[in-house]
Amino acid sequence: MIDSPFERAAAAAAFLQDRTSLRPRVAVVLGSGLGGIADHVADRVEIPFDDLPGFPAPTVPGHAGKFVVGTLLGTTVLLQCGRVHYYEGHDFETVMLPPRTLAAFGIQTALFTNAAGGLDPAMRPGDIMIVEDHINLLGANPLRGAHDGRLGARFVDLSTAYDHAVVGVLLDAGSRVGIPLRRGVYVAVSGPSYETPAEVRMLRALGADAVGMSTVPEVIAARQRGLRVGALSLITNRAAGLAGEPLSHAEVEREAKRATVAIGNLVAEALPALDQLG
């Protein structure tokens, strides 16, 4: 099984290990427009996805497509700038390659970030939501297909997919740096079109607080490998129909850039404690 998902991730991780002697325990995956945090990483080694065997180049503006390994205020960290989305046409195996690579590299805790539309009418652009649970509306489970026991369980438990200790660390960090944090449920849809107002009403009725087009397959892959997982949604817009204005990716990117400093401060503040979770 030379090209099996397990071996693809192992090959990519071996490549990363060749490029840096650092062995971070924490990874932060930076979504649309949030990659700016990487500029603050000291002694950094940057490894573009292009260089990694089996990795596709991201096609979305605002997604740089690289791993950055270094230290952020003294804590060794791996940042993943950009991700692979299902809506780009990749199969789930490719979407799950980066988190599986993180696991093979030795990462123990992964914090995913994403841009999302606010479904909760109280949410405003710029709000940050700690994801406490998710709903998968991508149309299929990403683990559907042949099973390789080296990746973990066939039937992955998701009853505490979003680790309580990580939520606690993020809440503490938020209160120390003065960033109020919401908590809620993230629903993943396939995109790339945004939702209709009727779909937004449906998603809200289903119990979701924020809607986006990523994270869920990565979280499932990471949980299968036993990683501790946390996620933050940056609310870049009110979901379709709630604000009375059309949605655009430019707006999503603009809001994300504006929030980069806040998310960066929050992540930097949380990192030492995330690192200690082991």
Contacting positions for ligand HPA (CB under 6 A): 115-117, 194-195, 211-213, 236-237, 239, 247, 252
- What is the DSSP secondary structure assignment for residue 216, as one 8-state letter? H
Whether residue 52 contacts residue 22, with contact meaning beta carbons closer than 8 Å, is answered with: no
Q: Which is it for strands 182-189 and 210-212: parallel, antiparallel or unpaired?
A: parallel
Tokens of 60: 């979305």
Alpha helices in the chain, H assignment, sequence order: 5-19, 92-95, 97-105, 164-177, 197-205, 216-224, 249-277
* Cα 57 from Cα 54, distance rounded (Å): 10
- The minimum distance between CB 91 and ligand HPA, in angstroms, equals 20
Q: Which is it for strands 75-81 and 26-30: parallel, antiparallel or unpaired?
A: parallel
Nearer to ligand HPA, 109 or 233 (CB): 233
- The minimum distance between CB 253 and ligand HPA, in angstroms, equals 10
- The minimum distance between CB 61 and ligand HPA, in angstroms, equals 13
- The minimum distance between CB 155 and ligand HPA, in angstroms, equals 29
- Which residues fall within 8 angstroms of residue 209, CB to CB, at 6 or more apart? 118, 119, 120, 123, 129, 182, 184, 185, 186
Nearer to ligand HPA, 58 or 117 (CB): 117
Q: Which amino acid is at 234?
A: L
- The minimum distance between CB 207 and ligand HPA, in angstroms, equals 16
Burial class (CB in 10 A: 0-12, 13-18, 19+), 88: middle
Residue nearest to ligand HPA (CB): 117
- The minimum distance between CB 116 and ligand HPA, in angstroms, equals 5
